[in-house]
C-alpha cells in the first residue's frame, strides 16, 4: 500500500505565475488535509476536503488560494499569482476516517517563488 504521494517535490515559480500542487491519498482514504510550513515555523492547517466537498477551509488565505478533491484523481492545491511569501513547504495528509485522528503525511512539495 503506497503512502501519500505528492508531486512535484520541488516547484519553482516566478512571481505572478500559478502553482499547482498535487496530492494522491493513500488507497482507501477519502479525506485530505493540506498544511503549510513556512520557514522556521510549524505546520499550519489550510483546508480539509472529502471527495468533491470542502469541509473546512478556515486556514486558507482568502485570495489566490483554492483547493479541490475531485471524484477521480488527486487533490489539487492551486495558488494563483504567487508572491515571495508563498514560498514554503506544502504538506498533504490523508485519513480513512471522517475525523482527523489518523492522518498520514506525504513528503511535501517545496515551493520557491523567485
The contact set with another protein (CB under 8 A) reads 3-4, 6, 33, 35, 40-45, 48, 55-56, 58-59, 91, 99-101, 103, 105-108
44 and 33 Cβ atoms separated by less than 8 Å: no
The least CB distance from residue 25 to another protein, in Å, is 13
What is the closest distance, in whole angstroms, from the C-beta atom of residue 106 to another protein in the complex?
Answer: 5
Q: How far is the CB of 33 from another protein (least distance, A)?
A: 7
Encode the chain in three state secondary structure: CCCCEEECCEEEECCCCCEEEEEECCCCCCEEEEEEECCCCCEEEEEEEECCEEEECCCCCCCCEEEECCCCCCEEEEECCCCHHHCEEEEEEEECCCCCCCCEECCCEEEEEC
Q: How far is the CB of 74 from another protein (least distance, A)?
A: 16
Q: Whose Cβ is closer to another protein: residue 19's or residue 48's? A: 48
Amino acid at each position: 500500500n503506497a503512502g501519500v504521494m505528492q508531486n512535484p517535490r520541488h516547484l519553482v515559480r516566478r512571481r505572478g505565475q500559478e502553482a499547482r500542487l498535487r496530492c494522491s491519498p493513500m488507497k482507501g482514504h477519502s479525506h485530505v488535509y493540506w498544511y503549510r510550513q513556512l520557514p522556521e515555523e510549524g505546520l499550519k492547517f489550510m483546508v480539509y476536503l472529502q471527495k468533491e466537498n470542502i469541509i473546512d477551509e478556515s486556514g486558507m488565505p482568502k485570495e489566490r488560494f483554492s483547493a479541490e478533491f475531485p471524484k477521480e484523481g488527486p487533490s489539487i492545491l492551486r495558488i494563483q499569482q504567487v508572491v515571495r511569501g508563498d514560498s514554503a513547504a506544502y504538506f498533504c495528509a490523508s485519513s480513512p476516517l471522517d475525523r482527523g485522528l489518523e492522518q498520514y503525511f506525504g513528503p511535501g512539495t517545496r515551493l520557491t517563488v523567485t
